[in-house]
Amino acid sequence: MFSTLVLFFSTCNNLVNNGNQQERLVDNSNFNSEAKSYFLGGFAEGEGSVSASVKVHSDFGVHVQPEFGVTQHENGKHILAGFKDLFDGKGNLHLKPGSQDVLEYKLLGLTNLIDHVVPFYLKYVRPFSGKVKEFNTFLEILERKQRKEHFTQEGLIDMVKLAYTLNEEGKGKTRKRTLEVVLAIIRDKKAYFANPNN
């Protein structure tokens, strides 16, 4: 394992010093994929997150959207490209909204998350993670969505409550609406949006 990590770090050093970082990281034939996965697992633990956004629309109501995301300064673009490569080219790599030099890789979609992120986390992140509770909650949201529990009012309420427990202390992020407001919208969307103060 130690020799694999040495190979990984020397490969990364060569990539950074030889330019054209994204292509070299993805295509380097000397790069051990197991070492890469463990590196990305550690990176996801420190710089990534599994979360669930709660979106509200006056016509469609409340929608819970689970996602995996990692942010990094543009100098680390090759690392974020490594996630996209690892997940079979799925997801998007773009500038983080409101920033000119911070990039964000995001992977959405229930099938993508179940097929790619869950197995990756189970093998390369969770065994070493300090965020096991957060991942287990994320996993529960995915399982509930897979069972279509959000199609009932009570199921959606339970899922929103779970989503609001994720990333409670995350990097200064706050949700646009309180949990109480979102629950009120689920219970009576028409009444909520009929109020001119909302």
Collect all residues with Cβ–Cβ distance below 8 Å to 61 and sequence separation of at least 6: 185, 186, 189
CATH at 6: 3.10.28.10
Q: Is 195 within the bounds of a domain?
A: no
Task: Please compute the mean of the pLDDT values over residues 154-158 and round it to a whole number.
Answer: 97
Q: Is 153 within the bounds of a domain?
A: no
User: What gap in Å lies between CA 17 and CA 169, rounded to an integer?
Assistant: 36
Q: Is the pLDDT of residue 55 over 80?
A: yes
Q: Is 108 within the bounds of a domain?
A: yes
- Residue 161 is predicted with a pLDDT of 96
* Chain mean position to CA 195: 34
Task: Determine the structural domain holding residue 40 and report its residue range.
Answer: 2-53+65-145
> Both tokens of residue 174?
């706050």
Task: Please compute the mean of the pLDDT values over residues 46-65 and round it to a whole number.
Answer: 93
Is residue 72 very low, low, confident or very high in pLDDT (cuts 50, 70, 90)?
very high
Q: Is the pLDDT of residue 174 over 90?
A: no
Is residue 33 very low, low, confident or very high in pLDDT (cuts 50, 70, 90)?
confident
Query: Quick one: three-class SS letters along the chain?
Result: CHHHHHHHHHHHHHHHHCCCHHHHHHHCCCCCHHHHHHHHHHHHHHHEEEEEEEEEECCCEEEEEEEEEEEEEHHHHHHHHHHHHHCCCCCEEEECCCCCCEEEEEEECHHHHHHHHHHHHHHHHHHHCCCHHHHHHHHHHHHHHHCCHHHCHHHHHHHHHHHCCCCCCCCCCCCCCCHHHHHHHHHCHHHHHHCCCC
Tally of structural domains, the chain: 1
Q: Is 187 within the bounds of a domain?
A: no
Of 198, 173, 174, the C-alpha closest to 184 is 198
Q: Is the pLDDT of residue 196 over 90?
A: no
Q: Is 47 within the bounds of a domain?
A: yes
Is residue 168 very low, low, confident or very high in pLDDT (cuts 50, 70, 90)?
low
Q: Is 115 within the bounds of a domain?
A: yes
Q: Is 171 within the bounds of a domain?
A: no
> Both tokens of residue 132?
């096991």
Q: Is 164 within the bounds of a domain?
A: no
